[in-house]
Structure 1
Amino acid sequence: MSATRRQVLAGSGAVGAAIAFTGTVSELFAGTADAHGPGPGRDGYGPLVPDPEGLLDLPRGFRYTVLSREGEPMRSGEGPVPSNHDGMAAFPGSPGSPGSPGPGPGRDGVRLVRNHENRLDDKIRVPAVPGLTYDPVALGGCTTLVVDGRGRVRDEHVAIAGTSTNCAGGTTPWHTWLTCEETEFRAGEEGYEKDHGFIFEVDPYDPRRTGAVPLTAMGRFQHEAIAIDPRTGTVYETEDAFEEPFGLFYRFHPEKPLGGRGSLRAGGTLEAMRVPGVPDLSVVQEPGTEFDGITWVPVPDPLARETAIRFQDFGKGGITHAQKLEGCYWGGRCVYFVSSYAKRDEGSAADHYGQVWRYDPARRRLTLVIAFGPDTDLEKPGEEPDNIALAPGGGLMVCEDGEGAQHVFGLSRRGTVYPVARNRQLIESDDGPGFGEFAGVTFSPDGRTMYVNCYEPGTTFAVTGPWRG
């Protein structure tokens, strides 16, 4: 049964701020367990307390540590910390180590692999390191932070370089990171020496074992995020295209499913989702709406040699598009993905302030689970959900990427929306001062530390506190 809820986030730093959504929230947590306690209280963790340092507002009882800031020297000596901190994942400090209870992120620590969404005009590039650089002209890539059991950064180094516009990605069951290029420039365009728009695999323990090899069979398009079915190895991929026609939702069947590090290089089949009778997901407005008989159409040219995939001919019935397809995760027996927003004046068939969709592969069923908004005050949080992550205490963490104040929100099983963090770092732009978005929210293997990036100025935070409630 669907329920309508509207939560008012009261208190310091969130007075009068509201978020509205409709849908059956419990569906978002299918197959997850409250292994680390009951999670937050009925009203979350309480109001946000203004940070005297002007960096990050948190609820009372929580504290943050700045692990890394753009422009500071990396401990590896390879150069300064690059700009534009985006998607990120936390891995055990050593291979095969699940982490252990203690005051920090487990006795073996944590390794954070962090994307840098650098384009050709960005200020601090990912340093080009021999053996780890795909295209020496491109400025994006990933860096790895090695954090010890006490939460101290012991190393910070380049994991891959020479890629472009590394936005989000996702983890594999064999503990590597798939970093996604959110661009589709070809060699010769904008000065690039190689084609871009690929996924690359990054080993958090030894990046030279994965190198800088594009996983070409997984498609060349404006990638955003991925999630892998741990039973079959099927990879689901979102596309955040910037203009009409908008992106597609894909699945990739590997030739060597669940084959471990490097297996995705063996190739496979790329397909795009077709919802019968629905060319644009934005027209679906009512949570709980279901579509059975979802079909998957082979992509004619995954490398997009002549034509971008979303423009290609998918035959009778066409293909289904959606604006701003972003976060993606696997939960229970289903894959969930986010459409951050849709706007008619940008080419979508209808307007919305954010959707969360669920696809059930066994039933071939697609369901609109959550619809955000409408919220007409851009100073109020709650529109344009972006990166999402499951929290070990039984909640969903959502990074906001809209206008005005920028928050990390929690969403509990009971449907309560509560603030977890607010960015206090002002940035200047052509439109005047504003706040940088959050990205890359993730948790340590022991569930005791939340890591999150501020996109600009590039900052990586570790947040500790009473996560168990």
Structure 2
Amino acid sequence: MDISRRKLLKSGVAVSAAFGGLATLAACSDQRQIPSLSIDKYGKLIADPNGIMDLPKGFAYKILSKAGEKMDDGLLVPGDFDGMAAFAGKDGTTILLRNHEINAKDLLNESKDASKTMSPFGKQDELLDNIDQSRIYDRNKDGRPMAGGVTGLVVDPGPLHVKRQWLALAGTYDNCGGGPTPWNSWISCEETRKRAGEKCYKDHGWAFEVQADPELGLQEPVPLKGLGRFKHEAAALDPATGIVYLTQDDWGHPSLLYRFIPDMPGKMTEGGRFQALMVRGQPARDMRNWPTSKGKKVKLAEWFETDWVDLKDSHNPENDLEDRGIKAGAARFTRGEGAWFGDREMFFACTDGGAAKSGQIWRYVPSEFEGTEFESSKPGRLQLFVESPDKAVMEYCDNLTVAPWGDVLVCEDEYADGNGNNYLRGVTPQGKIYTLARSALKQKNEFCGACFGPDGKTLYVNLQQDALTFAIRGPWHEL
């Protein structure tokens, strides 16, 4: 594995291929128009007669997985689906690794609602004997395993048949976002700052690495402590350097953009440097663009040169990491969400950024000397790529991914039009926003986990509250 990792990290081209041949937006970055109104890239949505998901003409979905199903390891598919990534498996299969944003309160609600499935071990943990319990990371004070974690699916991409489902990570808390690596693993992130003793036995707020290998079954839970302990959201690994960029989704607190520079690329447990992004020459710059934000507002499409400030004690013993970062000069964002690498550039969302508090999407272009002593001579650049002017255009952007042709697909996490609907939006390289899908289910359901399979033709996505995983196909390129 070490050899393959080194090969991947030596070649940006090879690694881009491993991610599905993502197209670059950089070529047109300075020529795009400031977005005004939405566009109908694929046409109007057509109401789903089954009342599940509305899609444009020519598109269709298939439900692959839902909470409560019996998995091949004898456990149940847990609820609250969230971040997800797709990987190439054996014999042409696709492997999905999927987060479950479950906490102790969710388990309590499950016990009160006979129709609600949360824990993979059953409502009374009656299925616990099916696993090696030493591989449960942590338990609640009542003895029940924490029910957050990661499940895996093996999908035959032809008929979109699920061949296998299994539990891959157990005993974690509120596994929200994450990100893929070029060596077929998933970085799963806990969105919490929970400490040992707070109705649990271990600290939480870590990232964990999960291999996309069904033969490993339930894997040993090893916190990637170098990636920091805070309310994590996404982890975007640059395949050219092995540097991991980390967003922070912390209600009521500043959210920073962090990075972890590993001492050994591809080995995230072997130590490294932990840093936060700073706008060059503008320490503690407020990037939120809220009406109450101090200082100058960020203009749409405006570029900034960046620096990075070192942060000690990234294990965050006092739960003050972001405050220490701002004191050191780090830029202040709001509720960082999904992050994903395209070709030589990373996009990340701030769910309630902007004057309308409807969401921002930022673009970061790393330095050609990223993470080295020469970086300051040609620094990385940050751009406000999209800021939603109205909730009807895009509201509360959350998970995102980059399509093989360069569009950014964005999952919404809130009612977008007052009727209880959440949408899956797209953003063109020119910054135009369009609608790809709408949840038609009765209860609020956020889209999450959007990702393309290795074939570049199949979009996989989740609806969280009803806990459904879909495959979507359609005329992506027939415009």
TM-score normalised per structure 2: 0.78
Which one-letter code corresponds to 1:136 in the other structure?
A: R
- 1:239 aligned to 2:244? no
Give me the whole-angstrom Cα distance separating, in 1, the residues matched to 2:228 and 2:220.
19
Q: 2:298 maps to which residue?
A: 285
User: What's the secondary structure of 1:251's corresponding residue?
Assistant: strand
Q: Does 1:406 align with 2:422?
A: yes
Q: 1:125 aligns with which of 112, 119, 126?
A: 119
Deviations 1:317-355, CA, capped at 9 Å, x for gaps: 533221111111222323222112138xxxxxx654222
Counterpart Cα distance in 2 of 1:89 and 1:182: 18
Structure 1's 156 and 416: CA in aligned 2 closer, same or farther, altered over 3 A? same
1:273 to 277, 281, 290: 277
Q: Structure 1: which amino acid aligns with 2:190?
A: E
C-alpha contact (below 8 Å) 1:400/1:407 kept by paired residues: yes
Structure 2, unaligned stretches of length 5 or more?
1-30, 111-117, 122-127, 141-145, 290-296, 368-377
Change (3 A) 1:334 1:73: same
The amino acid across from 1:53 in the alignment is: N
The 1:65/1:338 distance shift into structure 2, 3 A limit, reads: same
Q: Any idea what the Cα deviations from partners look like across 1:415-437, whole Å, max 9, x if unmatched?
A: 4432211101122xxxxxxx211
1:355 aligns with 2:394: no
Q: CA deviation at 1:207?
A: 4.1
Counterpart position of 1:110: 94
- Counting only pairs closer than 5 Å after superposition, residues 279-358 of structure 1 correspond to structure 2 as 279-283=285-289, 284-292=297-305, 294-312=306-324, 317-342=328-353, 352-358=357-363
**Alignment: residue pair count:** 399
- 2:382 is matched with 367
Q: CA–CA distance in 1 between the matches of 2:433 and 2:299?
A: 19
Does the residue aligned with 2:268 lie in a helix, a strand or coil? helix
- CA apart distance, 1:381: 4.5
Give secondary structure in 2 for the equivalent of 1:217: helix
Is structure 2 residue 208 aligned with structure 1 residue 200?
A: yes
Bigger helix share: 2
Counterpart of 1:271, as a letter, is Q
Equivalent of residue 81 in structure 1, options 69, 77, 82:
77
Maintained 8 Å contact 2:287/2:333: yes
Which string of whole-angstrom CA distances, capped at 9 and with x for unpartnered residues, describes residues 420-460 of structure 1? 11101122xxxxxxx21100001110112111000111110
Taking the aligned partners of 2:393 and 2:441, their CA distance within structure 1 comes to 16
The alpha-carbon deviation at position 232 of structure 1 amounts to 1.6
Matches within 5 A, 1:86-235: 86-94=82-90, 108-122=92-106, 123=110, 124-127=118-121, 129-130=131-132, 131-137=134-140, 138-149=146-157, 150-189=159-198, 191-205=199-213, 206-207=215-216, 211-235=220-244
Tell me whether 1:387 sits opposite 2:402 in the alignment. Answer: no
**How far 1:113 sits from its partner (Å)?**
0.4
Structure 2 CA distance for partners of 1:410 and 1:359, relative to 1, 3 Å: closer
Residue type of the alignment partner of 2:85: A
Indicate conservation of the 8 Å contact 2:309/2:329, yes or no: no
Tell me by how many angstroms 1:77 deviates. 1.4
CA distance in 1, matches of 2:35, 2:275: 36
The answer on whether the counterparts of 1:132 and 1:208 sit within 8 Å (CA) in structure 2 is: no
- Go from structure 1 to structure 2 and tell me whether the alpha carbon gap of 1:313 and 1:54 turns closer, same or farther (over 3 Å shift): closer
The equivalent residue for 2:18 is: none
Flag the 1:450–1:307 CA change in 2: closer, same or farther, 3 A.
closer
Give the 3-state SS of the residue equivalent to 1:311 in structure 2: helix
Measure the CA separation in 2 of the matches of 1:368 and 1:351: 19
Note if contact 1:300-1:313 (Cα within 8 Å) is conserved in structure 2: no
Gap change, CA 1:467 and 1:72, over 3 Å in 2: same
Q: 1:358 to 1:381 in 2, by over 3 A?
A: closer
**How is 1:15-30 mapped onto 2 (pairs within 5 angstroms)?**
none
Quickly say closer, same or farther: Cα 1:159–1:224, change in 2 above 3 A: same
- Say if 1:311 and 1:393 are closer, same or farther in 2 by CA, change over 3 A: closer
Matches within 5 A, 1:67-78: 67-78=64-75
After superposition, give the CA deviation of every residue in 1:190-241 in whole Å (9 maximum; x if it has no partner): x111110000000111445952110111100001001112222111111111
Task: State the superposition RMSD in angstroms.
Answer: 2.1
Q: Work out which of the residue numbers 48, 51, 63 in structure 2 matches 1:51.
A: 48
Any conservation in 2 of the 1:90–1:443 contact (CA below 8 Å)?
yes
Distance 1:274 1:395 in 2: 27
Does 1:4 pair with 2:34?
A: yes
Q: 1:392 aligns to what SS in structure 2?
A: coil
What is the TM-score when the length of structure 1 is the normalising length? 0.80
Q: Distance in 2 between matches of 1:5 and 1:311?
A: 34
How many percent identity over aligned positions? 38
Task: Give SS of 1:7's match.
Answer: coil
The 1:152–1:226 alpha-carbon spacing in structure 2 relative to 1, beyond 3 Å, is: same
Matched residue, 1:438: 447
